[in-house]
Structure 1
Amino acid sequence: MAGDESGAGAGPAGGLGRRERAILALERRGFTGPGAKERAIREQLGLSPVRYYQLLNALLDDTRALAHDPVTVNRLRRIRDARRAER
């Protein structure tokens, strides 16, 4: 499907596309050591870390992401909100 390739289109029944689900799955993992997460972003998703974080930030505001993985999305929203409050 073209929507799955770009990640912009909806998956089955209006859900998340493959790329969006992969981003959330990567965020559920724990990473040890410096650079491990960035390496996984490049190798598994084929994205630069900057683009990954842009997509992740947009995904945190997507209600489909919240429905798909509420624990991860709410945890990341809390972290994002705390960082914004520090500024």
Structure 2
Amino acid sequence: MNDEPQGEPAGARELGERERGVLALERRSWPGPGAKERAVREQLGLSPVRYYQLLNALLDDPRALAHDPVTVNRLRRVRAEREQRR
């Protein structure tokens, strides 16, 4: 008989440091154009394009919703509104 727990490996339910950093940047408000992109490069070491790719994937990740439901739900609404306009 196998005594190891079934399902996800340990820690699989938590977001990584980079994912938490992306959500933290999205919680902030930004004073003007370029400030957010500069913070993305300096704080996360990502290009803005890669940042938005990660962010979009996070919006569909249940772990992100569990970590920061207010931010994720707000961003999901914004994304849905943009998709409706297309």
Gaps of 5+ in 2: 1-8
- Letter aligned with residue 70 of structure 1: P
Corresponding letter in the other structure for 1:19: R
Provide TM-score, normalisation by structure 2: 0.86
TM-score, normalized by length of structure 1? 0.85
Q: Distance in 2 between matches of 1:69 and 1:33?
A: 24
Unpaired runs of 5+ in structure 1? 1-9
- What is the distance in 2 between the residues matched to 1:84 and 1:66? 20
Shift, 1:13, TM fit:
6.0
- Stretches of 4+ aligned residues off by more than 4 angstroms: none
Aligned residues: 78
Q: Which of structures 1 and 2 has the larger relative contact order (alpha carbons within 8 angstroms, sep 6+)? A: 2
**Counterpart contact for 1:11–1:17, Cα < 8 Å:** no
Identity among equivalent positions (%) equals 76
Q: Which has the larger radius of gyration?
A: 2
